[in-house]
Amino acid sequence: KAGVTQTPRYLIKTRGQQVTLSCSPISGHRSVSWYQQTPGQGLQFLFEYFSETQRNKGNFPGRFSGRQFSNSRSEMNVSTLELGDSALYLCASSTRNTGELFFGEGSRLTVL
Amino acid sequence: QKEVEQNSGPLSVPEGAIASLNCTYSDRVSQSFFWYRQYSGKSPELIMSIYSNGDKEDGRFTAQLNKASQYVSLLIRDSQPSDSATYLCAVMMGGYSTLTFGKGTMLLVSP
């Protein structure tokens, strides 16, 4: 059974640009969550989707957005990138309303 | 603000010893608690979940929960160098599958 797949794995952007990250959950998992991980702040919750609906959103500015498609694949977008957006963005999927998350390898974003 | 607190470490233990990792949380109504392990350069992986007061054992790992004290711990018996990693405590505070993570405790097991 394939795990959670995130693309791209690494990317470099400059300030002001935008970026789109993709996540394919484990087959059968309908919940997809996104987290930002930085050395200083640790893992911080961005948003969670279930059946194409955003059920929960973390305390991030509106530049951070996401969506989920009918096949449960999810994307997140960050517009007007800032240096502080440099981080590892992790996607996780789960089967039901539990905290038993399965994480992808992450997308490491560097903003110059 | 709802928080999960962990000592950042590193916690250093010799091979074969018991490693004790601790976590406190601020939201008294939290019901679900998790320990994730993250190796350097890798993504977190779930190792234990606990939902009721008391102990839950799984192989060399024991999770302990005390809701009255808002305290969760993870014991690793017979620690191995391969256990060297950052251990993340996570608490379900926002419902659904939303977790609030602590910043993690780095564990170093020396041969």
What percent of chain B has pLDDT above 90? 84
Of A31, A45, A96, the CB nearest to B100: A45
Q: What integer pLDDT is reported at residue B98 of this predicted model?
A: 84
What's the Rg (C-alpha) of chain B? 13
* Residue of B32, B34, B43 to mutate for A, most A C-beta atoms under 10 A: B43
Indicate whether A1 pLDDT > 70.
no
Q: How confident is the model at residue B31 (pLDDT cuts 50, 70, 90)?
A: confident
Q: What integer pLDDT is reported at residue B77 of this predicted model?
A: 98
**pLDDT tens, residue by residue, A66-102:** 999 999 999 999 999 999 999 999 999 998 777 899 9
Q: What integer pLDDT is reported at residue B85 of this predicted model?
A: 97
As a whole number of angstroms, the distance between CA A95 and CA A109 comes to 27
Of B42, B91, B97, the CB nearest to A101: B97
Residues of chain B neighbouring A55 (CB-CB closer than 8 A): 95-96
Partner B contacted by A56 (CB < 8 A): yes
Distance (Å) from the alpha carbon of B62 to chain A's nearest alpha carbon: 17
The closest of A12, A17, A2, A10 to A107, measured between CA atoms, is A10
As a whole number of angstroms, the distance between CA A1 and CA B110 comes to 35
- Which residues, in sequence order, are CB contacts of A51 under 8 Å at separation 6+? A30, A68
